[in-house]
Structure 1
């Protein structure tokens, strides 16, 4: 194992953001693999996570080893440790997901694309030393993709993954108990593709402990077959599920029984893996992109629950067309977005973090304080181009402290799972705090 301690963090501050009192900083962590977007994919849950005063991150290093790092907030030096585990970094699906449970143990899952579960956890609270690979429940762990960890307010964990392949897969849920230190199966099939399709989801747990899941359906491995935007929530830790109206779902959820936040036909350039967040009242907000009917240009979209009705609004105005079709990871001129919701003095603000070739592939943030007016103010968080990077962030720090800790690395990405000749690039954590 390789252990490195940086002498101290590099701290940079910028002025002139959308809010005159907003602050921005960035700290380098180490060098990471960059020939594709395996370190920078949007569906990493999580790439960065905070527990009490410590913040953790993970990435594949220059030769593909899973690497962990830890620092003491707000500005301590990063301790970086290479694990003995190596991933197939040539497949951009094979991301690293990590979480820290309420007792301080790191949980790690990595290197999946229809493959055997690879999961381990730390040897002691706060430790970067990981134990051996082990099963969770030992059931349906042969064809795992898209692992996601989430932490409940009480410190237990939720783990979601796809069992099966693109166009033919189901959503599985496990729960980890702090008391027993064991995983148990909640649902072997929460969302059922019925052998004909699969759901591409993202999830969040709000401050009240409600689990929110949004997803699009895909009919085949072809990205162009993505369609529709569906929603479900659980108010009892993932055991039972309901629609936004409170109507209970009969499980598993299928294409016929799902609640649809927005109907979107196939071949609309609808991307898979939406982003979802909830406000202080538990109302969900979903961000993604697609091409509106009768137009040629895909646009960022926000879908939110206003009272009892779902509303859709366009975020910004793009002018560059592109088309999604084919299989494998695509080289796309925009990133899938992340949506966040903040509350200050009783006022709600919605934020969307993204990358767009129209803004020179920078990490950008747009915000709206009045969704009824649908006016957005956009700024670039950093000025350097990031290639094919997509945003992922520390959900726990945002939820508890209102600080955006963003995992940032310039990455390449060839179309259809090919590589670019890009040398290892610095991994950074970029921090942004809204003006107060």
Structure 2
């Protein structure tokens, strides 16, 4: 009898693991309509939005520019498909696709919003009350290094406090600054004025992720000038004390600021490799980082995942693309493939979310299926020049994938289409 019970228990575990392993591969996809958004460029869908969606287990919030360029905030109960929307009085320069909106809920339910940045003064406000869509007046955070802000992004720590990262300075000459928000005092403080120093010769284009242990993972490519073809190498750092000190994957402490010569390199990648910047990053339950990007090792740029296991950096690639292109020049590019996001499930492996003209520019997911890679399209129609952003908090808590999706145009080098607007949707693959 004991043997039978043990065997049955093992079988149940295997069945449960098998079902979970096929969750994103086979789970039904639903689409929830939010509202109508600006679509003359990719400003609503650029990948460096942190975040386009955010949630706390019960409520989900969204932000986007409407067809007139106003900041619109929305919220819903996660169990509902009905969105409550508020068109704020704030506008952005929507003609520049850099000037995206980033949002985050803090641990007390206040919504923090930063918008309309490309080498200009900080634009930041927070909700008047927890879970409110009404924003207060625009305000400063610390008053330090707030005159030339680009790429603002929020990250919520496990204790409910926030990290705010942004570039101060221009392309090729910028530095990474980090602020921290304390929910008890409701005060921002600056913890780094120059975490990564380009030494006035280059700048770091980063992606970051806070894992479930509270570690802040940071990876970046260096760019030597405004020209994207000068991107090179993938560097890495991690903080285990909420951003105060930083170390390499070996545990060796960094002397700050981190420079080109002092950085740890997860992977060496030469210039002129069509290496893209500002992509996606995640970590598994043990705090091992995974970085997704693309570059060309021969003629065809391929999606690449660089990851750390047992103290060693490794790389895997679906290696499934056939279309060639060369990445170079400045401004927001019109590229056949989007910058990718990466998800990791301890039971079912690696998922890459992206868009590719080879698949008619649909939202696609390529994932490991044993030793092979398989592609699943998550939308039936083209999404134009969309790039993936998703509800990171929801993925961490439930392994449900909610993607912000909108069909947008992007003319190369900050070009603007005319008369374009399109519906914004949340594409959901929910953990049942």
TM > 0.5:
yes
Query: How far 1:156 moved relative to its partner?
Result: 0.2
In the alignment, the residues of structure 2 paired with residue 235 and residue 193 of structure 1 have an alpha-carbon distance, to the nearest angstrom, of 23
Give 2:188's aligned residue: 183
Query: How far 1:306 moved relative to its partner?
Result: 2.1
Give 1:10's aligned residue: none
Cα pair distance change 1:18/1:70, threshold 3 Å = closer
Give 1:106's aligned residue: 111
Give 1:317's aligned residue: 320
> Which of 217, 237, 244 is the matching residue for 1:232?
237
- Residue segments in structure 2 that go unaligned for 5+ positions in a row: 1-21
In the alignment, the residues of structure 2 paired with residue 57 and residue 23 of structure 1 have an alpha-carbon distance, to the nearest angstrom, of 22
What secondary structure, in the 3-state scheme, does the structure 2 residue paired with 1:398 have? helix
1:146-225 aligned within 5 A:
146-225=151-230
2:128 is aligned with 1:123: yes
Cα pair distance change 1:76/1:188, threshold 3 Å = same
Give 2:389's aligned residue: 392
Q: 1:250-291: CA deviations, max 9, x gaps? A: 111000000001100111000111311000000000000000
The alignment covers a number of residue pairs equal to 411
Q: 1:196-225: CA deviations, max 9, x gaps? A: 000000101011100001100000000111
User: What TM-score do you get using the length of structure 1 for normalisation?
Assistant: 0.92
User: What TM-score do you get using the length of structure 2 for normalisation?
Assistant: 0.93
In the alignment, the residues of structure 2 paired with residue 76 and residue 297 of structure 1 have an alpha-carbon distance, to the nearest angstrom, of 41
> Which of 333, 344, 362 is the matching residue for 1:341?
344
Structure exhibiting the larger radius of gyration computed from Cα positions: 2
* Contact persistence 1:365–1:381 (CA under 8 A): yes
Give 1:284's aligned residue: 289
In the alignment, the residues of structure 1 paired with residue 317 and residue 345 of structure 2 have an alpha-carbon distance, to the nearest angstrom, of 19
In the alignment, the residues of structure 1 paired with residue 105 and residue 373 of structure 2 have an alpha-carbon distance, to the nearest angstrom, of 34
Give 1:6's aligned residue: none
In the alignment, the residues of structure 2 paired with residue 177 and residue 52 of structure 1 have an alpha-carbon distance, to the nearest angstrom, of 21
Query: How far 1:421 moved relative to its partner?
Result: 3.1
1:255-266 aligned within 5 A:
255-266=260-271
**Higher normalized helix content (fraction of residues):** 2
In the alignment, the residues of structure 2 paired with residue 20 and residue 216 of structure 1 have an alpha-carbon distance, to the nearest angstrom, of 31
* Contact persistence 2:64–2:72 (CA under 8 A): yes
* Contact persistence 2:294–2:303 (CA under 8 A): yes
* Contact persistence 1:393–1:404 (CA under 8 A): yes
* Contact persistence 1:171–1:192 (CA under 8 A): yes
* Contact persistence 2:93–2:116 (CA under 8 A): yes
* Contact persistence 1:215–1:274 (CA under 8 A): no
> Which of 48, 67, 72 is the matching residue for 2:53?
48
Query: How far 1:422 moved relative to its partner?
Result: 5.1
